[in-house]
Amino acid sequence: MREKQILDAAVEVFARHGYHSASMDEVSDVAGVSKPMIYSYLGAKEDLFLHCIRREAGRLLEAVQAGIKPDLPPDMQLWHGLRSFYGFVSEYRDSWTVLHRQALTVGGPFAGEVDALRGRAIELVSALVVSAGSRKGLAEQAEFSGEGLAAALVGAAESLADWWLDHSDVSDAVLASWLMNLIWLGFNDLVEGDVWRPR
């Protein structure tokens, strides 16, 4: 319980000030615990930030996985996954700020943790692309392009979430719809064998 209290406070402070400007004094004040207790539970500032990133990355991935319903067609699985992703970003804006804006800016092992999260998200989406292609008898083509297309979709989803931090008047359902219309229509053409080629 005490560890959660400290991590909640740290995420809030890191999101507000960024890693370099955030102070352990403020984390201590917001958490309502002493600095020695923070050091005892979670270590120095660098350790604390890494704990924050790992916890928020795990929570985000769990939310997306919980939203994907494996009994539905691949497009609906992706739709529900995107809704869960944007639902998480909406509810935990500080978490997304720490993961996407702060960790990537600071770099080093922090960015590495976010890259690992991205890799797991790409695996999830790639499995949906391959599943859709297999249903249409195009498993080989889907397997060849699935990972790259999944990386493109995950990148687009992240960029749209980052844009959304400054445009919060748009609902999470609308965001998911935009991305489905932008991405899935193209995926669907691919798994139908309708491929664009330059003239």
Is residue 10 included in any domain, yes or no?
Answer: no
Render 55-78 in DSSP notation, one character per residue: HHHHHHHHHHHHH--TTS-HHHHH
Nearest to 191 by CA among 128, 147, 129, 114: 129
Q: Which of 89-93, 110-114, 126-130, 169-173 has the highest mean pLDDT?
A: 89-93
- Judge whether 35 lies within some domain: no
The pLDDT of residue 161 is above 90: yes
Positive or negative, the Cα torsion across 14, 57, 9, 6?
Answer: negative
Query: Does residue 33 fall inside a structural domain?
Result: no
Our count of domains for the chain comes to 1
Average pLDDT over residues 123-127: 84
What pLDDT does 138 receive? 56
pTM (two decimals): 0.85
The token pair that represents 53 in the structure block: 């990133």
Asked whether the predicted pLDDT for residue 139 surpasses 60, the reply is: no
- On whether residue 80 sits in a domain, the answer given is yes
pLDDT for 196 beyond 70: no
The pLDDT of residue 142 is 60
- Domain span at residue 181 reads 53-192
The answer to whether residue 47 sits within a structural domain is no
CATH number assigned to the domain comprising residue 178: 1.10.357.10
Residue 92 lies in a domain: yes
Is residue 21, in this structure, part of any structural domain at all? no
What pLDDT score does 47 carry? 95
Q: How far apart are CA 96 and CA 164, in angstroms?
A: 11
Answer yes or no: are the C-beta atoms of 60 and 94 closer than 8 Å: no
pLDDT in tens, 43-87: 999 999 999 999 999 999 999 989 888 888 878 888 899 999 999
Say if 74 falls within a structural domain. Answer: yes
- Contact at 8 Å (CB) between 9 and 22? no
Q: What average pLDDT does the chain have?
A: 86
